[in-house]
Amino acid sequence: MSVRKRPEGGWIADVTVGRRLDGSPDRRTSTHRRKKDAEAAERKLLLLKERLQGKSYGGITFREFVDEYFWPQKAALRPTTVKGYNRDLNLRLLPAFGDVALEDLDRLRIQRMISSCSSKKVATNARETLSSVLSLAVEMGAMPVNPAGFTYSYPKAAQHPDDHFGVWLSTFAEIQKVLDFMEEHYPNTPEERMCVLGLCFGLRKEEVLGLDWETVFPGERRIQVVQAYTQGEGEPVLGDPKTPKAVRPVPMTSHALRRIEAWGGGDGPVVVDSKGARMRPSTARKRIARVFGASLRYDNGEPLPHLTQFSMRHSFGTSCINAGIDVARLAKWMGHCDTSTTYNRYVKPKLADLRGDADIIDAAMGGS
């Protein structure tokens, strides 16, 4: 077995992994342009040989498995997923398990990693990334079970202000108030366009930035979501939406139709920066924050709500539910795979609404 250079160019990995039923050698070969790729293929064949012989993966460490097997098989991941995986791996998983052999990665080590995290959210993200890596290890025969799937104790959830991710508007009257303000004070600006697309269509922030005029159809009163502009590691990437069901038509409300017609149409992205290029996610976040994170007020002196692109989508979903729109239809509108996501993640009743429900209960109980 060896990695050797081919006379005609390239490199070949050559490993006899065992014997066939007739007793002849089971020799596996693969050809590669680079020596590095051939060496990686040889390692994979050697691991296969050990697995066929009932042996372990030879003490392969968690770091080696991630570098040699996990990333090469995850080339099609969304940029935002890659960014999240790298964050968890570099900050938590590799420091904790990098030099640990896969066969020694057990529940106790994982619990220690989870307990060292600053919050439940951080720990949950790290465990889910670890589970993805170890699921592949189980599929490849490097581990008998995935210990990241066991039950663990988590740190306390982080405490954030109520409006940390932006406030949820719960009625279309509140939404219309914001839209009227934007039309009056920020007409035909990227800020108004992002508000209309978020509050009238319920688009994800990456869908807002990925929308092109070629998929806006005022005559048919709809837009077509076909792509998303996401921020991974490095430059933003224009690609497919979050899920297959996120590719969808979205109907156009009267306000949205009137404003889109006023914008005048065009070619390329609907939301552009000062140079006419597709607006970057970081720029969009800052521009929205300048409007809704500042001390701006309505004409009557009331402060504007602290909205973000994230909370605009949630505000749309919450207002639809409160307006009586069927949740199954809303799930299709928002591009969810099932209605449970619509209820659990995008509908957030406000404390005032809950107090109103309590008043209804009091009235039913005779005010006692």
The predicted-structure confidence for 344-360, as pLDDT tens digits, reads as follows 765 655 555 656 666 67
CA atoms within 13 A on the CB side of 343: 6
The DSSP code sequence of 17-58 is EEE-TTS-EEEEEEEESSHHHHHHHHHHHHHHHHHHTT---T
The C-alpha atoms of residue 280 and residue 237 are separated, in whole angstroms, by: 10
Contact 41, 35 (CB under 8 A): no
- The per-residue pLDDT for 347 is 61
Contact 213, 191 (CB under 8 A): no
Distance from CA of residue 320 to its chain's centroid?
Answer: 23
Pull the structure tokens for residue 27. 């020799």
Contact 225, 247 (CB under 8 A): yes
**Listed residue (263, 277, 264, 267) closest to 195, CA to CA:** 263
The residue whose two tokens read 């960014």 is: 83
pLDDT confidence bin for 363, thresholds 50/70/90:
confident
- The per-residue pLDDT for 119 is 92
What's the rounded mean pLDDT across residues 275-286?
95
Positive or negative: CA dihedral 186, 187, 190, 193:
positive
> What's the Cα-to-Cα distance from 273 to each of 128, 158, 262, 283, rounded to whole Å?
36, 35, 19, 8
Cite the residue boundaries of each domain of the chain with CATH code 1.10.443.10.
172-357
The residue whose two tokens read 């990456």 is: 206
**Listed residue (40, 33, 39, 36) closest to 70, CA to CA:** 40
Q: What are phi and psi of 222, to 5 degrees?
A: -160, 160
Cite the residue boundaries of each domain of the chain with CATH code 1.10.150.130.
62-159
Pull the structure tokens for residue 329. 């239809």
What's the rounded mean pLDDT across residues 181-201?
97
Contact 239, 227 (CB under 8 A): yes
Question: Helical H runs in the chain?
Answer: 35-52, 62-65, 79-88, 94-97, 107-115, 120-139, 172-185, 190-199, 205-210, 254-263, 281-292, 309-322, 327-334, 339-346, 351-364
Q: Does domain 62-159 have CATH number 1.10.150.130?
A: yes
The C-alpha atoms of residue 61 and residue 306 are separated, in whole angstroms, by: 47
What's the rounded mean pLDDT across residues 291-303?
88
Classify 41 in phi/psi space as left (phi over 0), alpha (psi -120 to 50) or beta. alpha
Question: Which DSSP state fits 280?
Answer: P
Q: 269 by DSSP, 3-state: which? A: strand
* 70: pLDDT strictly greater than 80: yes
The C-alpha atoms of residue 113 and residue 52 are separated, in whole angstroms, by: 33
Superfamily of domain 172-357: Intergrase catalytic core (1.10.443.10)
pLDDT confidence bin for 140, thresholds 50/70/90:
confident
pLDDT confidence bin for 210, thresholds 50/70/90:
very high
What's the rounded mean pLDDT across residues 254-264?
96
> What's the Cα-to-Cα distance from 349 to each of 71, 168, 208, rounded to whole Å?
40, 8, 25
Query: pLDDT digit string (tens) for 157-170?
Result: 876 555 667 888 98
